[in-house]
């Protein structure tokens, strides 16, 4: 499988990343282990999580996802076959991007993950109350100590990402090598208008989340009656309009032509989008994961890409 470099970080990743937000939420520990094994055996390597996953689940305290991944790494012995990406800044116990907070949070994540170094450490959200130089300086120290290999930004505006890059250049500090924005066939404008030109100009990698729009782009939800099919169903209600159904129709037609699924077509469209390094997708069963991974083998032609562009414009 052809690997792609994430920005200028030197990290080489397969064209699809696994979203660890489901671990400890819609997926129990045993199934999580099965999913991670299948993901790696399929030739893929980037696992994305955060120190706050999955605090929103009743009874959870947060940190469940990192803890499960750490147990899997210990049990499987596959640390050298994966890249671990996690995030800091949104945990209720470690909020913000202050230097002291980052220094404490990284130690906790390393312990939960049972690793010596985080491959990609990401600012989970912007922090307007902390000087950018303070945040980047904290990351610089972690990189000097060998605890972090590269850094990335998540949920940043184009203006703030550009400012962060300027501060890094001016002060000889490490720059964000990746961006993690929301981006998919139904959510395009926020990324394409300002972020896409910036990341392409600066050669920043993109690992976008909600690649399947919380499952809407799988074709699972086609009416309000379908929303009860999963715990995430209500989150796609906003897509059940004329445009959303038009996108599903285009996906259905192209999927039928390839003997594929709408989910595979949706991910294949993202994989060939200029600037996208690897979309992030999750699965709750190995069967579902196998379907998602199949997107990496799907080749869309120019007419099919244009049809999807038009349907989702």
Q: Mean pLDDT across the stretch 273-298?
A: 97
Q: Which residues pair with 85 in a beta bridge?
A: 48, 120
Q: Mean pLDDT across the stretch 64-84?
A: 98
Catalytically active residues, by annotation: 53
- If you average pLDDT over every residue of the chain, what do you get? 96
- Other Cβ atoms less than 10 A from the Cβ of 76: the count is 14
Compute φ and ψ for 111, nearest 5 degrees. Answer: -65, -45
At residue 223, the pLDDT reads 83
Per-residue confidence at 230, pLDDT binned at 50, 70, 90?
A: confident
pTM, two decimal places: 0.96
Per-residue confidence at 231, pLDDT binned at 50, 70, 90?
A: low
Q: Mean pLDDT across the stretch 156-171?
A: 98
At residue 228, the pLDDT reads 77
Question: Token pair for residue 68?
Answer: 């499960």
Share of the chain above pLDDT 90, in %: 91
Q: Is pLDDT above 70 for 294? A: yes
Q: Is pLDDT above 80 for 233? A: no
Span 4-213+263-300: which CATH code?
3.20.20.100
Tens-digit pLDDT profile for residues 251-280: 999 999 999 999 999 999 999 999 999 999
What are the residues whose beta carbons fall under 8 Å from the beta carbon of 194, sequence distance 6 or more?
157, 158, 159
Tens-digit pLDDT profile for residues 174-228: 999 999 999 999 999 999 999 999 999 999 999 999 999 999 999 999 988 788 7
199 φ/ψ sector (left φ>0, alpha ψ -120 to 50, else beta): alpha
- Other Cβ atoms less than 10 A from the Cβ of 92: the count is 9
């Amino acid at each position: 499988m052809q690997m792609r470099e994430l920005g200028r970080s030197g990290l080489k990743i397969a064209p699809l990343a696994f979203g660890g937000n489901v671990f400890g939420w819609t997926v129990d520990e045993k199934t999580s282990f099965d999913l991670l094994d299948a993901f790696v055996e399929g030739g893929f390597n980037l696992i994305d999580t955060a120190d706050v996953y999955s605090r929103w689940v009743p009874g959870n305290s947060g940190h469940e996802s990192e803890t499960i991944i750490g147990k899997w790494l210990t049990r499987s012995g596959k640390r050298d076959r994966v890249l671990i990406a996690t995030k800091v800044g949104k945990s209720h116990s470690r909020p913000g991007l202050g230097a002291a907070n980052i220094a404490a949070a990284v130690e906790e994540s390393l312990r939960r993950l049972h690793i010596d170094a985080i491959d990609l450490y990401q600012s989970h959200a912007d922090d307007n109350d902390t000087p950018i130089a303070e945040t980047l300086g904290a990351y610089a120290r972690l990189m000097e100590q060998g605890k972090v290999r590269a850094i990335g930004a998540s949920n940043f505006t184009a203006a703030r990402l550009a400012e962060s890059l300027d501060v890094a250049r001016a002060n000889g500090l490490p720059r964000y090598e990746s961006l993690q924005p929301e981006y998919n066939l139904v959510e395009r404008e926020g990324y394409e208008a300002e972020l896409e030109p910036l990341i392409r100009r600066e050669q920043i990698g993109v690992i976008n989340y909600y690649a399947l729009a919380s499952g809407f782009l799988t074709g699972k939800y086609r009416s309000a009656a379908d929303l009860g099919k999963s715990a995430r169903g209500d989150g796609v209600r906003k897509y059940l309009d004329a445009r959303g159904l038009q996108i599903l129709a285009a996906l259905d037609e192209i999927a039928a032509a390839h003997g594929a699924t709408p989910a595979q077509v949706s991910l294949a469209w993202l994989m060939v989008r200029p600037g996208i390094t690897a979309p992030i997708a999750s699965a709750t069963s190995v069967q579902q994961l196998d379907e998602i991974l199949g997107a990496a083998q799907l080749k869309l032609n120019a007419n099919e890409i244009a049809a999807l562009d038009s349907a989702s414009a």
